[in-house]
Amino acid sequence: MEPVKIYKHKDVEAIIELYGELLFDRDCFATIKEHLEEIKNFLWNSLKNKSEAALKEVSNYHPYYMGKTIDELVHLPLNQQDAELTISNEYGFKNWDNLIEKSKVAYNYDFEDAVDFAISGQANELNMILQRSPIIIDQCSQFGHKATILHYLIANGTEMWRQIVPDNLIDIVKLLLDYGCTSNKAMIVYGGEYYPYELIDSSAHLHSCNLDDQLKMLLK
């Protein structure tokens, strides 16, 4: 069997390289809050060093600087609050205070691992987690956006580093459906609430992989 190929936009790849293992070190932190605080601190230090990847993250998620170019951002007097605003928005929280209030809990490790296995196309590992913990199939993320595993596979509106697309995406979605995934949970993003199907058309990553039409047919 050929290894799964993963599509990663260059900006997503840069974010993954920037943070490295910190993104996956969930078991090193007692609560989600502590982990996201460490991620925020890392972003702030990277912004102080004018990291292009960090500035790209700001461009994608900062509520006031969204869409600005690197050349525009590099000359702004960014501060720690800008890092807080970026991370809180990226993870679907209203603001940093809301993030702190809502994330004083431990991770649901089965859910988080299932997301990582799903978006990286690891069907066997995903299947084992779903056998052990089938309740997670329609659970929502503990992050503010409340995305389901299926939402994450749309690669749109979730945290930037997870917006990747495996070439066996359709098989992964079929696996979720076999376990009873209903696709009737909405995530909170773009100022509203959206079901997975509704986010397909605006997913640039799915479009780049020519998987958007196939996925729409599957979820229709």
Whether residue 160 is predicted with pLDDT greater than 90 in this model: the reply is yes
pLDDT tens string 25-43:
999 999 999 999 999 999 9
Q: Is the dihedral of CA 91, 95, 100, 103 positive or negative?
A: negative
| Class of residue 198 by CB neighbours under 10 A (exposed 0-12, middle 13-18, buried 19+) | middle
Residues 6+ apart with CB under 8 A from 125: 113, 117
- Spell out the long-range contacts of 190-194 with Cβ–Cβ below 8 A and sequence spacing 24 or more: 190/157, 194/157
Query: Where are the domains positioned within the chain?
Result: 7-103, 109-219
Name the CATH architecture for the domain at 109-219. Answer: Alpha Horseshoe (1.25)
| pLDDT > 70: percent of the chain | 100
pLDDT (0 to 100) of residue 2: 82
* Mean pLDDT computed over 145-173: 98
Q: Are 153 and 119 within 8 A, CB to CB? A: yes
pLDDT band at 204 (very low <50, low <70, confident <90, very high): very high
Helix (H/G/I), strand (E/B), else coil: 187? strand
pLDDT at 220 over 90: no
- 1 pLDDT more than 80: no
Determine whether 220 is exposed, middle or buried from the number of CB atoms within 10 Å of its CB (0-12, 13-18, 19+). exposed
How far apart CA 142 and CA 120 sit, in angstroms, is: 20
* Portion of the chain with pLDDT greater than 90, in percent: 97
Q: Which whole-number Å values give the CA distances from 50 to 31, 59, 70, 198, in the listed order?
A: 29, 13, 10, 36
Q: What is the mean pLDDT of residues 9-34?
A: 98
